[in-house]
Amino acid sequence: MSRPSARRPEAAAEGAGLPVLLRGAAIRALVVGGGMVAARKLATLLEAGAGHVRVVAPRLSAELREAASPAGGRVELVERAYEAGDIAQANLVIAATNVRAVNAVVARDADALGRLVSVTDAPAEGTWTAMATHRTGSLVVGVSAGGVPTAATRVRDAIAARFDARYAAAVERLAAIRGHLIELGEGERWRDAAGEVTGEDFCAAVESGDLSRRIARWEATSSWA
């Protein structure tokens, strides 16, 4: 049996993608599909704080309705076949039906309108793919593993085991300090503080509890408060 050839460096770079973090409230999404996959995608969008999600499918499963129930007016359920006009003002589109031809049409329509589209059964047809995500407070870590979602999930879980609530508390406190200093027009002071409290040993300081002491020492010698 021949071994698979190594990928050329330029090929790897070409498919590397650009990780971005969208502001949840700015997301206006369309999910086409009414089954379990669509329900998972809807739940992920709502967890991210999506401002509005339209879901279109000839039949909406109980799982999907359950995923939509806590969201109130943020979710619009449309129980009929997909139509091109369903994209409307959506800036994020997910084709998640179990019909290849429908997903392909959704992908083409979204691309023609310049919208970002994810195609669950053919990722290469889309412009974005979801990452396995770990969230704790304001700290968000996304993992992609070259189209092997189970591997991404395992790596995500390993990251989550270390980067726990201690990091959420640390990031929240630092964000409050940064926001306050910038509001006061003291951006330079924040840059000085960041160098002191988020140095190369930041993770070790969070896990040992030394970061809190370090911030307290910095605050005691600063007039920013």
Strands 116-119 and 92-95 turn out to be: parallel
pLDDT score recorded for residue 92:
97
pLDDT score recorded for residue 53:
97
181 φ/ψ angles, rounded to the nearest 5 degrees? -65, -40
First to last CA, the chain: 68
pLDDT score recorded for residue 213:
87
Q: pTM value? A: 0.78
pLDDT digits (tens, 9 = 90+) for 163-186: 999 999 999 999 998 998 889 898
Strands, E assignment, 74-163 = 75-79, 92-95, 116-119, 132-136, 139-143
- Minimal CA–CA distance to 93: which of 15, 146, 41, 34? 41
Q: Which residues of 101-118 are buried (b: 16+ CB within 10 A; e: fewer)?
A: ebbebbbebbeeeebbbb
55 φ/ψ angles, rounded to the nearest 5 degrees? -115, 125
Map out the domains of the chain as residue ranges.
Answer: 22-130, 165-220
Which positions ≥6 away from 190 have C-beta within 8 Å? 177, 178, 181, 182
pLDDT digits (tens, 9 = 90+) for 78-97: 999 999 999 999 999 999 99
Which positions ≥6 away from 217 have C-beta within 8 Å? none
197 φ/ψ angles, rounded to the nearest 5 degrees? -100, -15
Q: Which residues of 42-61 are buried (b: 16+ CB within 10 A; e: fewer)?
A: bbbbbebebebbbbbbeebe
Fold of 22-130: Rossmann fold (3.40.50)
- pLDDT tens across the length of the chain (225 residues): 334 433 334 334 445 678 888 888 999 999 999 999 999 999 999 998 999 999 999 999 999 999 999 888 899 999 999 999 999 999 999 999 999 999 999 999 999 999 999 999 999 999 998 889 999 999 999 999 887 889 999 999 999 999 999 999 999 999 998 998 889 898 888 888 888 888 899 999 999 999 988 888 877 776 555
Q: Cβ atoms within 10 A of the Cβ of 119, count?
A: 24
